[in-house]
DNA sequence: ATGAAAGCGCTAACAA
DNA sequence: TTGTTAGCGCTTTCAT
């Protein structure tokens, strides 16, 4: 146990060469005679040498670490994004920290402090509401030359690359679909004061207006994004006899709470009511399967990761791009045609 | 943007003091006259100085970073553990990397490489099967003085502190409960060659033997831990008319696949069959609610995190402890009494 | 092709 | 109390 870790110096001594020669061999960036190179490789092997990352970073002023900030590390969609980001990052030699913000400004600030403190090279942001509140302080990162990109979420920050979802388009697809099935009274369950919600419900409303003369949209507002809140909101809506033939849930967590409330009231899907969700592919095994708006998390993640690293490494210097990636409506048996 | 980041030197110049004075003020470990201290704090403020973590670590030979290795970063139970670990770690000044191993030896090795490469101070391991396979190579960490503790999972590694779950006790509770309800034919869905499975089914069997003279345990083996695999296994068991009155699922992912298969075959819970799961509290909103074995993830995580850090900081030097923390059976409406 | 030496930003002896 | 200085382990000129 006492055996201390081998340094480049130890390797140099062991191989009988200078430390700069060792460095050249290890990094393979400077020509070295085969003879010495072999001896160095040998010594590295014997001593189990691994370059000290701290020393390297200190010199390079780069740490090869990134951060992924997201409001809820428990949300499967974000996790899938993280995983994909990590894969790309690892492939390019970067490690990434998963930092939860709990959707609170304070925790977000702490996370940002951490990014700065650890001198991370870049950060991915889930473009959520709390983040937008923090926006003003994001310059702290920019000032220090820390690269940033936005993923998922709905807020577009003009200063940075953003790879977001076409929420409006997604909402439109849902509305269009429901309208075609003959639905005229739709209950939306989800948070009220969220940009994402505005866009989703907005798209929905547009489609309804276009496709189905008279249509009514009722809101069942949840406090926050939890299944519990959705359960309560749904119970309230049922109690109020809101009179709806279809329910649209803001996301899978919301969906699962709403579905539970529906079940507890003996309302069956799709017989009693049709159900659609903005899904995180969380509920593949729910029965009946839920029609939902899905998204290529992995694709967007790879895009974002490569862009961030390209910025860091100076490969891309163009002005920030703002992309809205398409959502797809996966139709499953949770909705049915009704007679008007 | 071009503005480079302030170093301790800049602060020293700005405040008109020596760098060691700045250091003392920043770290508050050496007495400094109020006059100079104030000037330093001012300069720090003005220059927005934050000590360079790399430089610090280089000197300290400590990075204040930890790793949490787990087979599936998508599993809610592990994530909750991670979150709790992170909370404790942050409170004590450490950051933690979430590293997925996909339950594969190769990926686990890569994760270990990363731990070494980044010179992390310690690592949490989910004591899974793949990890046990890697066991022999874990000495690479030990050799370098990297602290380790095991959490969750079932494998006890004698060399390190382990905070595991009392799987057998959990299994026993399930068996006891089911036996009391009169069940004599029980189907177990889950992986076959897993230590955790052995222990869970073992406890179950013991309880059955103790409580219910003749009882039959049938295995529906899944390949891996996915809901998809469970769905297939359950379908097969139903097809084989295995004749069971109760199903016990290995975990929530398995449960969700099995439940889907049951539903697709028109078998209702608990009317058609009783259902119990080793749960990750993933399914609070499933209907009917599932009786399940639950666990205090947060508690174990805090325990493990504090222990790991205590080891790193030399606060604890006692020989490795091996604790098995109790599981609790949360009874919900998914099981019913049957007549024998 | 090889090596000596100067930092990278910080901490901690050691002097003053 | 304050300042000077020698590293921590590595990369990278710059000589040789």
**How distant is the Cα of B242 from the closest Cα of chain A, in angstroms?**
23
One domain for residues B145 and B231? no
Identify the band that residue A288 occupies on the pLDDT scale cut at 50, 70 and 90.
very high
**Residue B191, in any domain of the structure:** yes
Residues 20-39 of A near strand D (Cβ < 7 Å)? 20, 23-24, 26-27, 29
One domain for residues B162 and B173? no
> Parallel, antiparallel, or unpaired for β A291-294 and A328-330?
antiparallel
Whole-Å CA distances, A271 to A254, A266, A332: 20, 11, 14
**Residue A211, in any domain of the structure:** yes
Residue B153 CB neighbours (<10 A): 25
One domain for residues B282 and B306? no
One domain for residues B224 and B188? yes
Identify the band that residue A212 occupies on the pLDDT scale cut at 50, 70 and 90.
low
Average pLDDT over residues B92-110: 92
Identify the band that residue B270 occupies on the pLDDT scale cut at 50, 70 and 90.
very high
A236 near A218, Cβ under 8 Å? no
One domain for residues A14 and A124? no
Contact B54 A52 (CB under 8 A): no
Q: SS in 3 state form for chain A?
A: CCCCCCCHHHHHHHHCCCHHHHHHHHHCCCCCCHHHHHHHHHHHHHHCCCCCHHHHHHHHCCCCEEEEEECCCCCHHHHHHHHHHHHHHHHCCCEEEEEECCCCHHHHHHHHHHHHHCCCCEEEEECCHHHHHHHHHHHHHHHCCCEEEEECCCCCCCCCEEEEECHHHHHHHHHHHHHHCCCCEEEEEEECCCHHHHHHHHHHHHHHHHHCCCCEEEEEEECCCCHHHHHHHHHHHHHCCCCCCEEEECCHHHHHHHHHHHHHCCCCCCCCCEEEEECCCCCCCCCCCCEEEECCHHHHHHHHHHHHHHHHCCCCCCCCCEEEECCEEECCCCCCCCCC
**Structure tokens belonging to residue A106:** 């304070």
Q: Coil, helix or strand for B292?
A: strand
**Residue B332, in any domain of the structure:** no
- Reading phi first (left if > 0) and then psi (alpha if -120 to 50, else beta), residue A113 is in alpha
pLDDT by residue (tens digit) across B159-206? 999 999 999 999 999 999 999 999 999 999 999 888 889 999 999 999
Q: List the CATH number of the domain containing B20.
A: 1.10.260.40
Average pLDDT of every residue of chain B: 92
* Positions of chain D reached by protein Cβ under 7 A: 1-5, 7-13
Q: What is the DSSP letter of B32?
A: -
One domain for residues B88 and B114? yes
A334 near A283, Cβ under 8 Å? no
pLDDT at B152: 86
Q: Which residues, at least 6 apart from B224, have a Cβ–Cβ distance to it below 8 Å? A: B103, B191
Q: What whole-number distance in Å separates Cα of residue B52 and Cα of residue B64? A: 13
Question: Is residue A1's pLDDT more than 60?
Answer: no
A78 near A152, Cβ under 8 Å? yes
One domain for residues B270 and B208? yes
Tell me which residue of B68, B144, B17, B200 sits closest to A4, measured CA to CA.
B144
Tell me which residue of B295, B235, B270 sits closest to B75, measured CA to CA.
B295
A145 → chain B, closest CA residue: B1
**Residue A336, in any domain of the structure:** no
Whole-Å CA distances, A36 to A10, A42, A46, A323, B246: 15, 10, 15, 51, 69
**Residue B3, in any domain of the structure:** no
pLDDT by residue (tens digit) across A150-160? 998 778 888 89
pLDDT by residue (tens digit) across A293-336? 999 999 999 999 999 999 999 999 999 999 999 999 999 999 99
Please tell me the pTM assigned to this model.
0.91
The gap from C-alpha A117 to its chain's centroid, in whole angstroms, comes to 23
Residues of chain B in contact with residue A55, where contact means CB-CB under 8 angstroms, are: 58
Tell me the CA–C1' distance in angstroms for A28 and D13.
Answer: 17
Domain extent, residue A188, equals 167-294
One domain for residues A76 and A137? yes
Tell me the CA–C1' distance in angstroms for A31 and C6.
Answer: 22
Query: Sheet of A274-278: strands edge to edge?
Result: A216-222, A185-191, A246-249, A274-278, A291-294, A328-330
Q: What whole-number distance in Å separates Cα of residue A82 and Cα of residue A68? A: 7
One domain for residues A28 and A131? no
One domain for residues B159 and B117? yes
Q: List the CATH number of the domain containing B216.
A: 3.40.50.2300
How many domains does one find in chain A? 3
**Residue A177, in any domain of the structure:** yes
Q: Which residues, at least 6 apart from A187, have a Cβ–Cβ distance to it below 8 Å? A: A218, A219, A220, A237, A242, A244, A246, A247, A248
**Residue A3, in any domain of the structure:** no
Looking at chain A, the whole-number percentage of residues with pLDDT higher than 90 is 78
Identify the band that residue B3 occupies on the pLDDT scale cut at 50, 70 and 90.
low
Residues of chain B in contact with residue A79, where contact means CB-CB under 8 angstroms, are: 73-74, 79
One domain for residues A286 and A311? no
**Residue B57, in any domain of the structure:** no
One domain for residues A185 and A285? yes
Question: Is residue A244's pLDDT more than 90?
Answer: yes
Q: Is B259 on the interface with A (CB under 8 A)?
A: yes
């Amino acid at each position: 146990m006492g055996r201390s870790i081998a340094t480049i110096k130890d390797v140099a001594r062991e191989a009988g060469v200078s430390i700069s020669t060792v460095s050249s061999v290890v990094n393979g960036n400077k020509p070295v005679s085969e003879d010495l190179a072999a001896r160095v490789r040998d010594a590295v092997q014997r001593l189990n040498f691994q370059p000290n990352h701290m020393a390297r970073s200190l010199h390079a002023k780069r740490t090869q670490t990134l951060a992924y900030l997201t409001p809820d590390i428990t949300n499967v969609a974000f996790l899938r994004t993280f995983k994909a980001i990590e894969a790309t990052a690892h492939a390019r030699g970067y490690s990434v920290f998963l930092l939860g913000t709990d959707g609170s400004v304070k925790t977000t600030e702490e996370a940002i402090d951490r990014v700065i403190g650890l001198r991370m090279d870049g950060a991915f942001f889930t473009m959520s509401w709390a983040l937008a509140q923090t926006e003003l302080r994001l310059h702290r990162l920019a000032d220090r030359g820390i690269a940033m990109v936005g993923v998922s979420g709905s807020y577009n920050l003009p200063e940075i690359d953003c790879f977001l979802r076409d929420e409006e388009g997604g909402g439109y697809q849902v509305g269009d679909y429901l309208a075609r099935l003959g639905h005229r009274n739709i209950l939306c369950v989800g948070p009220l004061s969220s940009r994402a919600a505005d866009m989703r419900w907005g798209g929905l409303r547009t489609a309804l207006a276009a496709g189905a003369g008279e249509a009514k949209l009722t809101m069942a507002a949840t406090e926050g994004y939890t299944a519990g809140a959705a359960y309560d909101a749904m119970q309230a809506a049922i109690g109020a006899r809101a009179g709806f033939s279809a329910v649209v849930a803001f996301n899978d967590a919301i969906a699962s709470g709403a579905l539970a409330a529906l079940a507890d009231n003996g309302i069956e899907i799709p017989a009693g009511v049709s159900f659609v969700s903005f899904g995180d592919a969380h509920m593949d095994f729910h029965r009946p399967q839920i029609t939902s708006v899905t998204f290529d998390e992995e694709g967007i993640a790879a895009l974002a990761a490569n862009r961030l690293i390209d910025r860091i490494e100076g490969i891309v210097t163009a002005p920030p791009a703002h992309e809205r990636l398409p959502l797809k409506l996966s139709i499953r048996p949770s909705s049915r045609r009704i007679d008007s």
